[in-house]
Homo-oligomer: A and B are copies of this chain.
Amino acid sequence: MPTIIDIADKLGISKGTVSKALNNADDVSETLRKRVLETAVEIGYERNRARKGTADKLCMIVENFNYNDPAAFGYGIVMGFKKLAIPAGWDVDVVNVTPEQQEAMSYDTFMLSHEYKGAFAMGLTLRDPWMKKDLKTTRTPTVLYDNYILDNPRVSYIGVNNDEGFYMAVKHLKELGHTKIGYLGGGEGSYVTQARHDAFLRAMKNHGLEIKKNCIGRSYFISECTNKFLPAQLHSQVTAIICGYDLMAQAVLTQCMDLGYRVPEDLSIIGFDDAPFAAYTNPPLTTIRQNQEALGNCGFYALNSLINQTYIGTLLLRAELITRSSTGKARQGNLAAPRKLPI
């Protein structure tokens, strides 16, 4: 195991200077500190313990995710994680990161410089520098929510079982007489939107239902889904639409009402996530729940097991179908033309 002496030798500086740099002393320049950290990461140096008088620290990395507001999806996840981590003796920092910050400092350097023993990351996309490169080789125990890294045992994936969720959603619709079912979901920039799209296709196949032409719409932009793909699906006479996430489902509900259609009489809608607002849409949304606090719990379970060298690769929570009023019996016959046209 490399020590600070190895860092000192490699840089031709004293052991004391390395120690100061690692411990954020004021009399070490930022440039030198950065070189020390990068060398430390390069040779595989790991801190053995936190400095005296401080607890060991874990980091929750957050991007594209609102977690401060109890009405936000991320709130329950952060809470669930902290509820297990803090009684177990960890300090937990929640840190927002941007792609620019990721570009400026490598993942392991970031972790080492802040003395984090492990991290739980939410909301990273496949375009993020840390996802594209650093996490493939990181040595820091890391749990990713809804992201998967092949072949690096230091990284776990946690999430909900998408296949199970879509299986239940399609089963529910089929029992209500629906056979023409559409899908509207996120674009291809993230692991989870791809996984949910694929899970929809498998669920339709497993229930023996045909996927109609024009009945899959995917975009990063909700407006593109509601203005372009939704009219195409209505034109194809779908009787139900499953959305890749609740915010999309809410937009589809609103747009259908604007077009003069009734939910669920003309069209059934199902969301995914059971975000806090899903019970309060008009009508309340049938959705596939991922229990947010349980996700946070699982994040800690998985991270704790990685820190203890048990290499959990995948941890999936059960999905649960929450039936509310946005789904009902399939309409008989075709939809009338919309009373209003989309703008």
Binding site for B on A (CB under 8 A): 150-151, 153, 161, 164, 167-168, 291, 294, 297-298, 301, 305, 310-320
B305 x A313 contact (CB < 8 A): no
Is there contact, CB below 8 Å, between B310 and A298? yes
Which chain B residue shows the least CB distance to A296?
B310
Besides A151-B164, A315-B315, 7 other A-B contacts (C-beta < 8 A):
A298-B312, A311-B318, A312-B315, A312-B317, A313-B316, A313-B319, A314-B315
Q: Is the CB of A305 within 8 A of B312?
A: no
Main secondary structure of the interface of A (DSSP, over half): mixed
Most buried by B among A151, A161, A168: A151
Please indicate the chain B residues that have their CB under 8 angstroms from the CB of A310 in the complex. 294, 297-298, 301, 317
Q: How far is the CA of A297 from the CA of B312 in the complex (A)?
A: 10
A96 to B320, CA, bound (A): 33
Interface CB pairs A-B, < 8 A, 26: A150-B164, A150-B167, A153-B318, A153-B320, A161-B313, A161-B314, A164-B313, A291-B311, A298-B312, A301-B301, A301-B305, A301-B310, A301-B312, A310-B317, A311-B317, A311-B318, A312-B315, A312-B316, A312-B317, A312-B318, A313-B317, A314-B314, A314-B315, A314-B316, A315-B315, A315-B316
B294→A298 contact, CB < 8 A: no
CB atoms of B301 and A297 under 8 A apart: no
Q: Which chain B residues border A319 with CB–CB below 8 Å?
A: 313
Query: For A298, what are the chain B residues with a Cβ–Cβ distance below 8 Å?
Result: 305, 310, 312
